[in-house]
Amino acid sequence: MTSFPTIASAARDIAAKRVSPVELMKDHLARSEKLNPALHAFIRFTPEIALEQAKAAEARQTAGALRGPLDGIPVAHKDIYETAGVTTTGHSRVLEHHVPKADSAVVRRWREAGAVMLGKLATHEFAWGGPSFDLPWPPARNPWNTEYFTGGSSSGTGAAVAAGMILGGTGSDTGGSIRGPASLCGIAGIKPSYGLCSRTGVLPLSQSLDTTGPMAWTVEDCALLLDAMTGHDPADPSSANRPRPDLLSGLNGGVKGLRIGVIRHFHEDDCKVSPGMAAGIAHLTSTLAAQGAEIRDVKLPPLADFNAAGWLILAADAYAVHENWMREKYRAYGEFLRERLAVAATITAADYIQAQRRRRELCEAVAAAMTDCDLLVTAAQPGEARPIHQMTKWASFEVPNFTIPFNLTGQPALTVCTGFGAGGMPVGAQIVGRPFEDATVLHAGQAYELAAGWRAQRPAMAA
Amino acid sequence: MAQPLDKAHFEALMAQAGLDLTEAEKEGIRAASAHIQAAAARVRTPREVSVESATIFTLKGASA
């Protein structure tokens, strides 16, 4: 029987000298190398770096000088996070030989906290083009069923965490790229408040929506990882110059008295979700109610309004990022991304400005709804994962997206596993907070997760 | 459902973008332009012509 430590449990064991960081790293690297041919979660391993970092963590352990709960913890990074001296491709032929000189800010912060990097993780091409089969590396597979989609774009992180290859990893979220894979892979993932975490050194998709964040097996582990990501970064114009939030001290404080608004029309009327997803949302709200939260319904503008503004902005921003390469290296991109970017070239300046104006109205509507609520709840996906070969080129525009509303508003939003649906595939719901109230979101997720008990079950292939 | 861009308009935009597409690619991408047209219509909610867009900015470093 395989054991699956969490970051929190491994940190306790490392601190108590019951676990060697070098052995922990070797165990996870061996597991990763064994499972990767089926999952394609990693596109590159970095064993020399991992050994060097694990030995350094072990030396600190021996000296009684551990840096905190991430010291000696095996992690990996989505391949849009630049890593000094380690190829960073965006999972694209366009940057197949790109070797950055410096770490991205988040990679540096985790490294300085003692985390041990096992390698670089699969993503959809430049965080939008996938799942694609015409790139230099195949798309990641879902460990609950390897014929199924992981969600994207933080696909490798979702698969690697669920399979226990790593204890946590980086994701990024522009329209749901942390929360979608977290839902479909049955893990936890938080898109922090816009501006809470630095994006310096992360390949961009849409600068007004892009958010860096962590993914892990538990909400507590997400809190530990996020705690090591926050802090003002003058090099990132979007970075908020505010004190670092206390994400950890109240994590087990419960939800008594919190007012939770359920955006019922999103998942019951605007886009009716699967029975499994609906049951998960109901379980989430009833569990939190049993712990003293007040549950009420809230009404927002239609989900389609958020999708319209969100996709226009995302697509136009992405086209602006890739405009020159599209002209010069069109055939170097995979089909999905190059054609999505090509259609984005039809967006006019007036379309974009109207989308930004509508975004402001939508932000005001959500803020007004939250004057009576501390948190919002809705689906993270329309349902369970689907077979990977059924995913279409135009899915971004065809399938309603439950996550992009909170990229538009910049609010913190957590996906927590709410059970299992059709085919035994996991489902996850979103818990959304007010801007910079990431701690409240994590408290509610932790309260639910501890009560729900879903964390005992891992994918069979990983056991 | 909104209609895709007409062929001449679409080809002009692709030429402006400098994209050299096959005929099959053009047709697939042009069909998908209907999604963009639908979204562009949806964000154009009723408003006064003078309503501020979201592209205003605040001057930094201006003296009081």
B-chain residues near A393 (CB < 8 A):
28, 32
Confirm whether A299 is a catalytic residue: no
Measured at the CA of A79, the angle between CA A78 and CA A81, to 5 degrees, comes to 80
A-chain residues near B46 (CB < 8 A):
none
**Average pLDDT, stretch A387-415?**
95
How many contacts (CB atoms, under 8 Å) link A and B? 94
Cross-chain residue pair B13–A346, CB shorter than 8 Å: yes
Other C-beta atoms lying within 10 Å of the C-beta of residue A3: 7
Name the active-site residue from A32, A92, A104, A153: A153
**Average pLDDT, stretch A63-67?**
98
Cross-chain residue pair B36–A343, CB shorter than 8 Å: yes
**Average pLDDT, stretch A293-310?**
98
Helices A438-452 & A219-227 angle (0-180, nearest 10): 150
Average pLDDT along chain A: 97
Q: How confident is residue A114, by pLDDT bands cut at 50, 70 and 90?
A: very high
A-chain residues near B20 (CB < 8 A):
330
pLDDT digits over A156-197, tens only?
999 999 999 999 999 999 999 999 999 999 999 999 999 999
Confirm whether A78 is a catalytic residue: yes
State the nearest Cα–Cα gap between B10 and chain A, in angstroms.
7
Could you tell me which of A159, A53, A58, A46 has the C-alpha nearest to residue A110? Answer: A53
Confirm whether A191 is a catalytic residue: no
CA A247 to CA A182: how far, in whole Å? Answer: 20
Over 70: is that where the pLDDT of B64 sits? no
Cross-chain residue pair A308–B18, CB shorter than 8 Å: no
A-chain residues near B18 (CB < 8 A):
326-327
pLDDT for B61 = 75
CA A189 to CA A118: how far, in whole Å? Answer: 19
Give the mutation candidate from A321, A339, A346, A360 for the B interface (greatest B CB count, under 10 A): A346
Q: How confident is residue A395, by pLDDT bands cut at 50, 70 and 90?
A: confident
**Average pLDDT, stretch A307-329?**
98
pLDDT for A123 = 98
State the nearest Cα–Cα gap between A389 and chain B, in angstroms.
19
pLDDT for B55 = 78
Cross-chain residue pair A357–B51, CB shorter than 8 Å: yes
Cross-chain residue pair A305–B42, CB shorter than 8 Å: yes
B-chain residues near A392 (CB < 8 A):
none
**Average pLDDT, stretch A424-443?**
98
Over 80: is that where the pLDDT of B62 sits? no
Give the mutation candidate from A343, A358, A392 for the B interface (greatest B CB count, under 10 A): A343
How large a percentage of chain A has pLDDT more than 70?
100
- pTM score of the predicted model: 0.98
Over 60: is that where the pLDDT of A396 sits? yes
pLDDT for A2 = 74
**Average pLDDT, stretch A5-17?**
98
pLDDT for A405 = 98
Cross-chain residue pair B14–A358, CB shorter than 8 Å: no
pLDDT digits over B21-61, tens only?
999 999 999 999 999 999 999 999 988 877 777 777 777 77
B35 lies within 8 A of chain A by CB: yes
Cross-chain residue pair A357–B13, CB shorter than 8 Å: no
CA A459 to CA A144: how far, in whole Å? Answer: 5
pLDDT digits over A228-247, tens only?
999 999 999 999 999 999 99
pLDDT for A1 = 57
Over 70: is that where the pLDDT of A35 sits? yes
Over 70: is that where the pLDDT of A150 sits? yes
State the nearest Cα–Cα gap between B57 and chain A, in angstroms.
13
A-chain residues near B33 (CB < 8 A):
343, 346
B-chain residues near A357 (CB < 8 A):
43, 47, 51-54
Name the active-site residue from A32, A92, A172, A177: A177
* ipTM for the complex shown: 0.94
What residues of chain A have any CB closer than 8 angstroms to a CB in chain B? 304-305, 307-309, 311-312, 315, 323, 326-327, 330, 339, 342-348, 351, 353-361, 393-394, 397-398
Long-range contacts of the stretch A448-453 (C-beta < 8 A, 24+): A448/A284, A448/A287, A448/A288, A448/A416, A448/A418, A449/A188, A449/A218, A449/A219, A449/A220, A449/A416, A449/A417, A450/A252, A451/A287, A451/A290, A451/A291, A452/A283, A452/A284, A452/A287, A452/A417, A452/A418, A452/A419
**Average pLDDT, stretch A151-160?**
98
Could you tell me which of B36, B1, B29 has the C-alpha nearest to residue A308? Answer: B36
Could you tell me which of A342, A196, A378 has the C-alpha nearest to residue A269? Answer: A378
pLDDT for A4 = 96
